[in-house]
Structures are given as structure tokens and as C-alpha cells.
Chains A and B, each alone.
Chain A
Amino acid sequence: METLTVILRALANVVVVLLLAPLFEGVLRRVTARIQSRQGPPLLQPYYDLLKLLGKEDIESGESPWMQRFAVHLALASVLTVVCLLPLGAPSPLNAAGDMILLIYLLTLAGICTLLAGLAAGSTYSLIGISREMITMMALEPLFAITLVIGALNVNSLRLDQVLDGSVYAGGGFPLSGLIMLAVMLLSFQAFVQRVPFDIAEAETEIMEGPLIEYSGPKLALFKYAQMIKLVIYSSLFVALFIPWGSALVFPFGWLWFWVKVLGLVLLVTVVAATHARYRIDQALNYYGGLLGVAFVALILAGFGY
């Protein structure tokens, strides 16, 4: 009975995210269009796009077609597994089966899929794309890890339900370290979701979508889907870590309130993306470096209980 509930709740999480992720993308595109004085596509356009791509011929291309296929399935699989771990307006379904370490692993795996995709294409542009992606990952992963470590320190646990519930504030007060990390994660959020000004690894006008250069049809659809889900995942994580208030409301209010918060983050991402130019990789790296320095200070502060 217990197992069945867990499976059903995990499935529910997956289905909800699969259904909602393109909608958030649609909101993002629509709001971007409004900022640009355009009407923009219908809200449901991302669904149509995915369906259209899924219906196209599946072309094998690039240096290593099987790796290309593997990378895209792995990407979608890893982000969906992450979804099973997340408390999406309700307690995390796989609370007992995994902890923060697993979460970090899975998120890294999703990033590695991009590298695999780029390697599979084997073109100069995709290789430049993955070298940029790799640099970005190395700078960003620690930021996220530090946030989780601070949270874990505060609650003295690696359990998902305890850490992913405003743990950076150490239950109640507003310690300095939590507030610093809030600022750091806000400033780097755009990079986690790979949007302008930090869409450097894809940079359409420079390296023509980098790692995705050889993707088309159904495989491209799955990759795009994984990217849309990533936006939801990171927004949910941010909400769970930093904006926990109201999560204890009774169903369905807590659940709805959670998605309103996620929508708020997506809107923030949209506005930032629409008002910035893309940075160069060296400029971005300097920026991440600065944030990383600040994050370490926060970690030390948290260690002393501030």
C-alpha cells in the first residue's frame, strides 16, 4: 500500500510537470513578446511545437547517432527523476528513497547530457558549445551545492523534506548566510536555467545553438522538453529553498500557491532575459567567480551559526 502511494505520487509529479512545463514556456514567450511590442504566439504554442517536432522524420546525423539518441533520452530521464524527488506543492514522493546528494548527482547528470549531445554532433560549433557548457557547470555546481550544504547544516539532515523547506533560514529567523545565499542564487538563477544573458553555451547568433546543432525532429523535441522541465525544476527548487511560506496550507491551496510562486520566478526570468544582452564566457566566468567567493563566505558564516 505504502509503495503504491509513493509510485502514484511520483507519477502524479511527473505528469503535472510534463503538462505544465510547456505552459510556462508559453507564458515566457508571450510576456517576452509583450515587452518587445509584439503580440507573440498563442499560450499553447510550445505544445504545438513539441507535437510538430515529434511528428517529424527522425534523422540520424552527427558523428555518433546512437550517442545522440542516448543523450537526449538520458536528459529527459534524469530531469524527470529529479521531478520525482521534488516537493511540488506537496511532500516529496521519494523522500525515503533519496537525499540531497542524489539530487545534486541527478542535476549534474542532466548537464552532462548536454555535453554528450555536443560530443555526438562532433562539429566545431558543438564542441565550442560544450566547452562553454563545461566551464559553466564547473562554476555553477558549487554554488548550488553550497546552498544545499548550508540548508543541511541548519537542519542537521540531508533528508529532502527537511532541506527543501526553507532550510537556509534555519527554521524561522533570517540568518545572514541564508540572506546572502538568497541574493547569490537570485543573481545566478538566469545561468541555472540557461537563459539570456547566460545562454552562452547555445548562443544562436555565435555558435548556432552549440550542442544542439545536429538535433532535429523528435530528438530535438525531447531536448527542448527537457529544457522546459529544467526551468520548472530550478524554479521549484528555488521556491522550496528560499520561499517556503505558505507551503503548509491545506490542499489545494498550498499546491496552487506553490505554482503561483513558480510562475512568479518564470516571469522574473523572462523580464531579465528580455532586457539583457548575452555575456561572453570570460565575463560570465568572472561573474560566477565573484558569486562563488561570496557563497563561500556565507558557508563559513553558516558554519558559525550566523
Chain B
Amino acid sequence: MAAREKLNLLKERFGNAIQRADIPAEDRLFVFVDPQSVREICRHVFRHLDARYVISIGADDRPHSGDFLVAHHFAFDEDHLLSSILTRIPADEPAFDSITDEVPAANWAEREIRDLYGLEPRGHRYLKRLVLPDGWPDGVHPLRKDVPFDHVPEGFDPDREFKFDEAPEGCTVVPFGPFHPTLDEPAHFRLYVEGEMVRGCEYRGFMVHRGIEKLAESVLTYNDIPMAAERICGICGCVHNVAYAQSVEGAAALRIPPRAEYIRTIMLELERLHSHLLWVGLACHIVGFDTMFMQAFRIREPVMWIAEKISGNRKTYALCVIGGVRWEITDDLRAELRQVLDQLEKEWRPVVAAVQKDRNLKARTRGVGVADRHLVKDAALLGPVARAAGVDIDARRDHPYAAYDRVEFDVITADGADVWSRVIVRALEVFESIRIIRQCLDRMEPGPLSLDIQDELPVGRMGMSSVEAPRGESHHFVITGENNRPRRWRVRAPTYQNLQGVPAMIKDQQLADMTISLGSIDPCFSCTDRMETIDIRSGAKRVWSQEELKQLARGTRA
């Protein structure tokens, strides 16, 4: 009982500061603490109990309890425990003690709470806006319950330019973004460059913040949200889809049928396969090695096709509903999936062997974009970035969900802490994913795909779930609510933490290494299946089929 043990440790040390605790399951711990002691408690948990920082979350609980909530989530990976340290913030004094000095990784999360809830983090040293644009008026905080989801406040100036920090002396500014050939989404790094050396940077992002969380709390229902959730990301959409469903199921204490668990596992691993193959290709493209890019995409393509056969889509599988899954993997599909895996394994092995020996690639990636253990701890870096630094964390093993507790696999680590190690970790994880899917195919038993849920879900319960996305742990938190929708849903994608590590990774290295360093935390890419051509003069439309496109590109019939 790790949860009970940790709670006792906290009670022993902080006694009266612990107001209330809830252990809904062996692997979940919710502790309400006194707002005055939260900084001290978090420091203890982070530094002495050596927990991994996950995320800080704000919530507007005023309609129910009259207070705001601020939760700091920590993971005890070795003890298989996810914990939340919550404080109630009185509505008439909207401020909370910042923990960023103790837990540097909380920097963004606290600024986000300030932007979206108007809760002031006391003692935070860099209170620049993070999510809201500079043209947004003061005093309007979108995630507060009294702000409608479609509200555009008076005085909003969409054309207002960002106010940037002063560049250090002797440095020129190189704008990296908002649009750049290697960035697929708008994000702006303002690099301070001395000659060819990067000395620092300022980041502005959130330019396409879509307010999905607000939408979910205002207009969507429990079973709409998985579809919105997977549109958070064009690469690891299924991860969000599953993580959301699991956090609601956790809150409502629902246990889904085993076959659904296996299908979730298979689809998550299929997604990892396509994502890793895409990433290795993309990383090679960034350093100018386009042949590997093309070959990686060629090898990846059958994964997209089998995903389409299973779910109807290359991406956005629309997999989960609360209590189960929507797609069956029939015997035919199982056989075909096995063939795809065999082929993939056969083709990927020589690629990995070639990459491992490639001195040219090594020269470009060794010692580049270094994120060592200390940075991983302080910035709470995740996934392959952490594993490449020898930090052995993987939510699939540490916080098992779906059917991961019933399959065997190795967590791949490396010790270079650089881009090269990240390449190797990802390249080898492909084989583990193949292994996991094969075991699932062997072990899945016939059975129902989802629960038959008759009753309304209970109100006011909290649930959280961590899913290992291809880029690292994706963490979802839910407070269940009225009207068939959650009161609060918070998504923490792995890039939210990994991006905070980038400034330290690119500092004092060459400008040429910027793109691959940023790329090494894994950029995102949408893929289009079919192409439609329209002849402007005649207006004739022609939709190209998969076969025709393949013919066009490769000149061979499949």
C-alpha cells in the first residue's frame, strides 16, 4: 500500500497541515493540505521523497464549495503511485504560494493558472503571460466558470504584438518561428545568438490554443470528449483519447472489459510505431539526410493502412468511449496485423543496424541538445528524452493501464543524454512495441467491447491517468460533474514539460544544432491520406486512390 505509506510519511512530518486525504485506489492518492504549508510539502515530496513532478492544475470550484482549487501532481514511479496535493484557495483572496523555486518544472503550469484562473502565484519570479495573448484584456480569465466558452472580452486586440524581453548584450536576435520549415505548428523561439552560438532564448507559444478544456466543461458530454481529445494532437491522438477515458473511468470506478483493454493497448502501440518511425525519418530530414526520411516513411506506411482498416482512419482512430472501445479487431485483421508487424520488423532491423553504425549521423547528434539527469529531474522531462538520459521511467510499466500489466516488454534506456541517444531509444522501442502487440494478439479472449453503463456517473469525483505517449507521459485529470460532463478536465501533454527543457538544451551550442535539438523532443506532423485534384478550367474533380498515389510516388504496383 504505497499510497497509505506515503500519506503516513506526510502526516508524520506535517501533521496538522494535512487536512483530508482520499485513497480511492491503491495507486492513487489525493491529499488536501493547508495553503500555507503547500510550498514546504511540495519541496519535501519533490526533493526528499524524490517524487517526479507531473503538473499543477487550477480549478474553479466556486459554484460548489466557494473556493478555487490548486492541485500539484507528483508521481512516485517506483511505487506505482500517482498523487495529487490539493489546496483550497478562497475566492476573495485569489493567490497561492508558488512552488517554482522548489520545483522549477512548475514554471509554466503556475503561469497558466494565473492566465486562465486569475490566481496569482506568490513568489514566482517570471510572471509573463504564457497562454493568453498580449492583446487580451486584464482581469478576464477564460477558465473561470462565470466566463462563457464563446466569450470575446471587450478590448481584445488580436493584432497586438508580443512584448519581448531585451536580448543580452553582444547578442543578435534570430527569430526561430512563428513559422519555420522544421516547425509544423506555430511557436516562436527568439534566439539570442553570438556568432553561431546560441546564448539563450525566449519562448512564446500557445498561438493555436483552442480552448478544448473549456469546450469540454461547457458544451461537450462525456462521450463527445474522447473525439475532441484525440484532436489535441495529430500524432498521438489516441493517447489523449485513452487517457481521458481512463481518468473518467478511474473517477467513476469503472472496470472495462478485458478485450477492450487489449484493443486499447494494441492501438496505442500501433500509434507509437507510426510515431517513432515518423520521428526517426524527420530527425534525419532535419540534419539533411533525406534518404533515411523517405525510407522511414516507406516502412511506416503499412502501419497507417492497417490502422485505417481497423478504425476507418489513418489517424484519429475514434477508439474509446467511457467504459470500452468502439472497434473490434476481427480474426482477419489479427492475421493481417501480424503480417504487417513481421514485415515491419524485417525492414526496420537493417535500418537500425545502419543508423547505429552511421558515423556521419553520429557526428551531427552526439553531444548535441544535452539534457542530463539533473535537467530531467528539475524540468520534469519525459519519455525518450528522460530515458535517453538514463532515467528509467515509463508509464506503461510504472503506472500500468489497459493491458500493460499482462504483457512483457523492456524499457529502453541509454546514457548519452543527447540527441543520438534519443534516436537510439526510439529506434529500439519500435521492436518493443511489436513485441507488445504480438502478445496482445495472442492473449486477447473473446468478450464484450464495452460496459453497458445504465446510471449517471457520480458527481464531484476526481480521477487521473497517465498514458505513455510516444513522446512521454501524457497526464489527464478529471473532476466529474453534472449534466453528463466533467467540471474540470486538464490535459498535460508530454511536450508541455519537454519544451520547458529546450532552452537549457540549446544554450551554448551551435545555431545549426537548434533544429535537431528541438526536433529531438519530437515535433508533430499531420498526414493526408488522399489527394483531390480539381481542374480549375473545367471544374472536373478527381480523387486519387491510395493505389494511384502509391503508383505515382513509387512507380510500382502494390
Q: Which residues of A contact B (CB under 8 A)?
A: 32, 35-39, 124-125, 128, 131, 196-197, 199-200, 203-208, 274-283
Contact = CB atoms under 8 A, between A and B. Distances in A.
A197 B295 CA distance: 18
A39 B556 CA distance: 8
B360 A280 contact: no
B291 A275 contact: yes
Given A37-B554, A276-B360, A277-B364, A206 B289 contact: no
Contacts of A125: 174
Contacts of A278: 287-289, 364
B510 A282 contact: yes
A156 to B, nearest CB: 41
A196 B361 CA distance: 13
Interface string B270-305: 000000000000001111111101110010000000
A208 B180 contact: yes
Contacts of B291: 32, 35-36, 274-275
A281 B196 contact: yes
B483 interface: no
Given A197-B288, A274-B290, A277-B287, 7 more contacts: A36-B294, A37-B298, A206-B182, A276-B288, A277-B284, A278-B287, A279-B360
A71 B552 CA distance: 38
Given A128-B174, A275-B291, A206 B553 contact: no
B181 A124 contact: no
A101 B133 CA distance: 60
Nearest to A40: B555
Contacts of A274: 290-291
Interface in B500-558: 510-515, 552-555
A38 B554 contact: yes
Interface size class on chain B is 35 or more
A35 B294 CA distance: 9
A203 B511 CA distance: 12
Nearest to A287: B363
Given A36-B295, A274-B291, A281-B512, A205 B174 contact: no
B311 interface: no
B288 A196 contact: yes
A25 B198 CA distance: 36
Contacts of B285: 205
A128 B198 CA distance: 13
Contacts of A280: 364, 510, 512-513
A208 B174 CA distance: 12
B444 interface: no
B510 A205 contact: no
A120 to B, nearest CB: 19
Given A280-B364, A281-B196, A36 B514 contact: no
27 contacts: A36-B290, A36-B291, A36-B295, A38-B554, A124-B172, A124-B175, A125-B174, A128-B196, A128-B511, A196-B289, A197-B288, A203-B512, A204-B181, A205-B287, A205-B288, A205-B515, A274-B291, A276-B360, A277-B287, A277-B361, A277-B364, A279-B364, A280-B364, A281-B196, A281-B510, A283-B363, A283-B364
A278 B510 CA distance: 14
Contact of A206 (B358, B514, B552, B555): B514
Contacts of B358: 277
A39 B553 contact: yes
Contacts of A197: 288, 360
A39 B181 contact: no
A279 B290 contact: no
B306 interface: no
Contacts of B514: 206
A38 B196 contact: no
A227 to B, nearest CB: 17
A203 B553 contact: no
B254 interface: no
B554 A39 contact: yes
Contacts of B363: 279, 283
B107 to A, nearest CB: 28
Contacts of A128: 174, 196, 511
Nearest to B283: A277
Nearest to B364: A277
Contacts of A199: 288
Q: What 4 pairs across the A-B complex have the smallest Cβ distances?
A: A278-B288, A36-B294, A39-B555, A277-B289
Nearest to B284: A277
Nearest to B287: A277
Nearest to A39: B555
Contacts of A277: 284, 287-289, 358, 360-361, 364
A200 B363 CA distance: 15
Contact of A39 (B289, B290, B295, B552): B552
A62 B363 CA distance: 35
Contacts of B175: 124
- Greatest chain A CB density within 10 A among B293, B295, B552, B555 is at B555
A38 B293 CA distance: 12
A130 to B, nearest CB: 13
B173 interface: yes
Contacts of B295: 36-37
A9 B250 CA distance: 84
A280 B181 CA distance: 18
B552 to A, nearest CB: 7
Contacts of B181: 204-205, 208
A281 B512 CA distance: 8
A206 to B, nearest CB: 5
Contacts of B287: 205, 277-278
